[in-house]
């Protein structure tokens, strides 16, 4: 998106505000489907948790994507957005059996990652198709907060528990139609991911009625200049060949499924903030913006680095700033970051703000959650209103004393 368009959005809708470029989402989706063009049956489940605005859900559905959900509420949002039940997979963790039953009653694909729950569900609903989430004990992602395939992860059924898993399936006579893994976000090495895939293929051989194999996602995108990103084209070539060979040996074609979230929406997003003031101390120049970790927590939570650009003064002389928020906590977005000269009132754009940014926003310090805007067909469209004071009180029950 051009600077002038972003500045117009900040002027029209106020700041802070999230902006998503629909055309970037579409190009990422096409890049992924093209990379796996050699697979006859491909299903891309968009991971709703990355960005669950209903207008974004409707847009990715229009592209042809299916949906990956982790809660009954996300399932309900997907249905409201128009996804068919057969195009929604539910992959929760640590939920109650009653929530699983509620989702199963909606008719979507169930994915279970707990042996105890698997046995309970299979005993009660042996005919309901179930996918099994395997933990391959392969750490293909980045730090431990976002890598979920390692041996101490709470996610998935350990590959070493396969004998017990098979016994449960045999005893309950349940219908296993899919097998799944997710190694975590920010895949750094394709060969490590392919190694995990081989473990999944070996597990898949144990089930005779599969219709799909789900390889999760976690594809890394670039956050800064010269940053590493997952080579989707190389992965597509290598995994497609191996998948087609497996299907040939299995005896029938299966669907290859993925669950990209960050890969589809991260680079589409911009978070626009206005500079409240410049504060110079003995050693640091602070650029103070009209937001904080209540709106944009990833730098503080994960140590994530988001490129920050002064779109009000793109040709200004670069200086070093620490960009901080207005929350009464340490909410530093960037330390000693080289940015074109900043003045009070300038608009700063945080890049790669499409995934896991608005979704983690809160009302801490009783601040309002920001608006969201979708850039589509050359124009801006408001897809979430900025909160008001009435929204803060909406679900509170005021007692009289």
In a domain, 238, yes or no: yes
Instruction: Give per-residue pLDDT as tens, 46-83.
Output: 999 999 999 999 999 999 999 999 999 999 999 999 99
Q: Label residue 141 by pLDDT band (50, 70, 90).
A: low
Residue 167 lies in domain? 22-265
Q: Contact, 136 vs 200, CB < 8 A?
A: yes
As a whole-number percent, the residues of the chain with pLDDT over 70 amount to: 96
Instruction: Give per-residue pLDDT as tens, 189-228.
Output: 889 999 999 999 999 999 999 999 999 988 888 887 777 8
As a whole-number percent, the residues of the chain with pLDDT over 90 amount to: 88
Phi and psi at residue 385, in whole multiples of 5°? -75, 150
User: What's 192's domain CATH number?
Assistant: 3.20.20.10
One domain for residues 205 and 313: no
Q: Label residue 22 by pLDDT band (50, 70, 90).
A: very high
Residue 146 has pLDDT above 90, yes or no: no
User: In the listed set 265, 292, 308, which residue is the last one of a domain according to the structure?
Assistant: 265
Residues whose CB is less than 8 angstroms from the CB of residue 141 and which lie 6 or more positions away in sequence, other chains included: 147, 148, 149, 183, 184, 185, 186, 187, 188, 218
Handedness of CA 159, 163, 165, 169 (dihedral sign): positive
One domain for residues 279 and 187: no
Domain count, the chain: 2
Residue 183 has pLDDT above 90, yes or no: no
- pLDDT (0 to 100) of residue 151: 61
Indicate left, alpha or beta for 156 from its phi (over 0: left) and psi (-120 to 50: alpha): left
User: In the listed set 265, 290, 306, which residue is the last one of a domain according to the structure?
Assistant: 265
One domain for residues 248 and 283: no
- pLDDT (0 to 100) of residue 153: 77
In a domain, 206, yes or no: yes
- pLDDT (0 to 100) of residue 142: 52
In a domain, 10, yes or no: no
One domain for residues 100 and 149: yes
- pLDDT (0 to 100) of residue 190: 87
Q: Contact, 275 vs 342, CB < 8 A?
A: yes
One domain for residues 167 and 311: no
Least Cα distance to 244 among 234, 258, 255 occurs for 255
- Mean pLDDT value across residues 5-18: 98
One domain for residues 303 and 175: no
User: In the listed set 265, 280, 305, which residue is the last one of a domain according to the structure?
Assistant: 265
Residue 147 has pLDDT above 70, yes or no: no
One domain for residues 88 and 137: yes
**Count of Cβ atoms closer than 10 Å to residue 18 Cβ:** 28
Residue 313 has pLDDT above 60, yes or no: yes
Query: Average model confidence (pLDDT) for the chain?
Result: 94
One domain for residues 315 and 258: no
One domain for residues 62 and 179: yes
Task: Sort 206 into a burial class: Cβ within 10 Å, 0-12 / 13-18 / 19+.
Answer: middle
Residue 340 has pLDDT above 60, yes or no: yes
Which stretches of 133-250 are DSSP H helices? 162-172, 190-204, 232-250
In a domain, 392, yes or no: no
Comparing 183 with 108, which gets the higher pLDDT?
108
In a domain, 3, yes or no: no
- pLDDT (0 to 100) of residue 140: 57
User: What's 287's domain CATH number?
Assistant: 2.40.37.10
- Mean pLDDT value across residues 148-161: 78
Catalytic residues: 328
One domain for residues 316 and 256: no
Residue 145 has pLDDT above 80, yes or no: no
One domain for residues 261 and 274: no
- pLDDT (0 to 100) of residue 185: 61
Residue 144 has pLDDT above 50, yes or no: no
In a domain, 334, yes or no: yes
Six-digit token string for 291:
């937001």
Comparing 357 with 147, which gets the higher pLDDT?
357
Instruction: Give per-residue pLDDT as tens, 112-132.
Output: 999 999 999 999 999 999 999
Residue 315 has pLDDT above 80, yes or no: yes
The H or E element spanning position 255 is strand 255-258
One domain for residues 260 and 360: no
């Amino acid at each position: 998106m051009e600077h002038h368009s972003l500045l117009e959005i900040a002027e029209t809708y106020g700041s802070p505000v999230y902006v998503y470029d629909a055309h970037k989402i579409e190009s990422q989706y096409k890049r992924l489907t093209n990379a796996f063009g050699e697979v006859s049956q491909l299903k891309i489940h968009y991971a709703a948790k990355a960005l669950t605005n209903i207008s974004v859900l409707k847009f990715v559905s229009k592209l042809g994507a299916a949906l990956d959900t982790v809660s009954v509420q996300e399932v309900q949002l997907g249905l409201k957005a128009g996804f068919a039940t057969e195009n929604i997979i539910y992959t929760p963790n640590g939920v109650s059996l009653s929530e699983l039953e509620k989702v199963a009653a909606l008719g979507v694909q169930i994915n279970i990652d707990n042996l105890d729950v698997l046995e309970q569900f299979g005993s009660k609903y042996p005919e309901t198709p179930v996918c099994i989430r395997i933990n391959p004990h392969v750490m293909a992602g980045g730090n431990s907060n976002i890598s979920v395939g390692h041996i101490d992860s709470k996610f998935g059924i350990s590959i070493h528990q396969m004998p017990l898993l098979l016994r449960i399936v045999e005893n309950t006579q349940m219908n296993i139609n899919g097998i799944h893994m997710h190694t975590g976000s920010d895949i750094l090495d394709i060969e490590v991911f392919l190694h995990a895939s081989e473990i999944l293929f070996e597990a898949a051989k144990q089930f005779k009625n599969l219709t799909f194999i789900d390889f999760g996602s976690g594809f890394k995108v670039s956050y800064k200049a010269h940053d590493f990103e997952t080579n989707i084209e190389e992965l597509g070539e290598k995994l497609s060949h191996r998948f087609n060979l497996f299907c040939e040996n299995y005896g029938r074609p299966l669907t290859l499924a993925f669950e990209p979230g960050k890969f589809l929406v991260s680079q589409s997003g911009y978070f626009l903030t206005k500079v409240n003031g410049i504060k110079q101390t003995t050693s640091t120049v602070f650029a103070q913006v009209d937001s904080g970790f209540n709106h944009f927590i990833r730098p503080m939570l994960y140590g994530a680095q988001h490129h920050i650009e002064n779109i009000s003064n793109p040709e200004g002389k670069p200086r070093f700033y620490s960009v901080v928020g207005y929350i009464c906590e340490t909410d530093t977005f960037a330390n000693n970051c080289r940015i074109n000269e900043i003045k009070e009132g300038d608009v700063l754009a945080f890049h790669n703000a499409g995934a896991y940014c608005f979704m983690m926003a809160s009302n801490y310090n009783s601040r309002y959650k920001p608006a969201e805007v979708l850039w589509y067909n050359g124009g801006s469209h408001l897809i979430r209103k900025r909160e008001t004071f009435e929204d803060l009180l909406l679900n509170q029950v005021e007692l009289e004393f």
